Structure 1
Amino acid sequence: MESALEEVEFLARSPNRVEVLRLLAEDRHTRTELAEATGASQATLGRILTDFQERAWVRRAGSEYVATATGRLVASGFTDLLDIIETERELRDVVEYLPTHAMDFDLGHLADATVTFPSETRPDAPVKRVVDLIGDASEVAVFSHAFNERSLSAVHERVTAGAATFRGVFSEHAIDALADAPDLRALLEDLLAHDDAAVRVHGEGIPLAVTTADETVHLLLRDENGVLQASLDTDDDAVRSWANDTFDHYWRSAAPLDADELA
């Protein structure tokens, strides 16, 4: 009797096997329909269906074939495995920069995330990504250890135009850095003068750089030396729920920032 690993290998060796089992787990099909859907020859389909029937993954119903309960179980589990591997491949180059210690959701929720890397021609690509998201949003919330000039300018532009609301929680270091730059301090002071903007300062620091722009959550990812390595954004519900809850936690434990304090 084959081991479970050998069964996995049997299925994984052939994309046609995977696809046929997936199709039959969804609905019953004739061999002609399977051939049209997969592009496999009748001879190949014959071998696949025979192998599946020997494993009791598929049964014949007249001229059609349909997955059994165990066949559907295998199809579901193998699809889940493929999804996990695809997610791992997507995150492989950034996993060491992800703040996983602070992320209480399954990484599988990042399966459809957009990962943006800096390049020689676009070294600012991760920052541009978040600026573009802010530029299209009507509600922006940020909790971060930094507030870069381009994000501040994008938020200021949206709020002063009456196009967006903004709430931000920042570390003391982030606010001090803005206060030390006269042009950025003036921008922040003007932002704080608007009823649709509010900023708070968290005294214990914030180890993340997260922006929620409407339904999208964006993370700037840095290495241990603070060098920007990539960004990641997603509109997954679980990630957004995590971002909203984490923002609320920082917001409740932070002190309001008054424009007079910047001087």
Structure 2
Amino acid sequence: MATRLGETIASGMEDLIDLVETERELRDVWHWLPDEVSEFTIETWSEMTVTVAEPDSPYRPVNRFESFLQETTTFRFLRPEVALMEPCLDVLRQLIQDGVDITLVDRPSCHTYFFSTYPERSSEMVNRDNFTVLEHDELPPYGIGLLDDRVVISLYKQDSGAVQAVIDTDAPTVHEWAESMYAFFEGEARPPTSGSVVK
């Protein structure tokens, strides 16, 4: 039977192993992280789950994101990007039909893509009162999703827009930062122009 000292050491070792695992996962995507995230404490990092695309599993980050999307009752996203949202379009449509309040703030080119590629479905979605799309010309290079109490940070390859990694957490510090960032850009965003939306 372990002593209290032994239990404390064992618990400390488990925490250390968790931190090492998190550092290993973050190492490959560190240069893509927002500056504010890289400045969070080690304790906050330990509350993050990092899902990285691998050569034999390129959709791991998208699948992780979709699993949260299927369960959420609120959804706001800053720069969701085509590569992240297109595979989840059926789930998004179902959420809208279920009455979930959704707001997406993205670049005009992304809106143009969806309206030109899925004109009927996109028109149906934007005509719902619980679905809002806004556009902004100068978004950060990463995405920020707010799904209930969970924050999702999506990291994209800048040359292709492919999803490189998804970081998710319910850490209050990250949630506060994400809410602030989202509110700033949403406040500056505007409804899509006629050139972005194909009727």
- 2:61 is paired with a residue of what secondary structure? helix
Are 1:149 and 2:86 an aligned pair? yes
TM-score if structure 1 supplies the norm length? Answer: 0.61
Which of 152, 156, 167 is the matching residue for 1:218?
A: 152
Q: Deviations over 1:174-200 (max 9, x none)?
A: 11222331x2x3322211111111111
- 2:173 is paired with a residue of what secondary structure? helix
Aligned to 1:198: 132
Aligned to 1:172: 108
Alignment RMSD, CA only? Answer: 3.1
Q: Deviations over 1:10-51 (max 9, x none)?
A: xxxxxxxxxxxxxxxxxxxxxx973x7629xxxxxxxxxxxx
| Aligned pairs, number | 189
* In 2: Cα distance, 1:232 partner to 1:95 partner: 11
- 1:255 is paired with a residue of what secondary structure? coil
* In 2: Cα distance, 1:186 partner to 1:211 partner: 25
| Higher alpha-carbon deviation: 85-94 or 186-195 | 85-94
Q: Is the 8 A contact 1:143 1:169 kept in 2?
A: yes
Counterpart amino acid of 2:94?
A: E
Aligned to 1:69: none
Aligned to 1:158: 95
Query: Any stretches of 5+ residues in structure 2 without a counterpart?
Result: none
- 1:250 is paired with a residue of what secondary structure? helix
* In 2: Cα distance, 1:188 partner to 1:260 partner: 15
Are 1:186 and 2:186 an aligned pair? no
Aligned to 1:136: 71
Deviation, 1:255, is: 0.5
* In 1: Cα distance, 2:81 partner to 2:129 partner: 23
Seq. identity, %:
22
Q: Is the 8 A contact 2:22 2:49 kept in 1?
A: no
- 2:184 is paired with a residue of what secondary structure? helix
Q: Map residues 1-150 of structure 1 onto 2, 5 A cutoff.
A: 34=3, 38=6, 82=16, 87-98=22-33, 100-101=34-35, 103=37, 106-108=40-42, 109-144=44-79, 146-147=81-82, 148-150=85-87
Counterpart amino acid of 1:209?
A: G
Deviation, 1:172, is: 1.3
Deviation, 1:260, is: 9.4
Larger radius of gyration: 1
Q: Is the 8 A contact 1:145 1:173 kept in 2?
A: no
Larger relative CO (CA 8 A, sep 6+): 1 or 2?
2
TM-score if structure 2 supplies the norm length? Answer: 0.79
Deviation, 1:85, is: 5.4
Deviation, 1:142, is: 0.4
Deviation, 1:130, is: 1.0
* In 2: Cα distance, 1:33 partner to 1:231 partner: 38
Q: Is the 8 A contact 2:80 2:145 kept in 1?
A: no
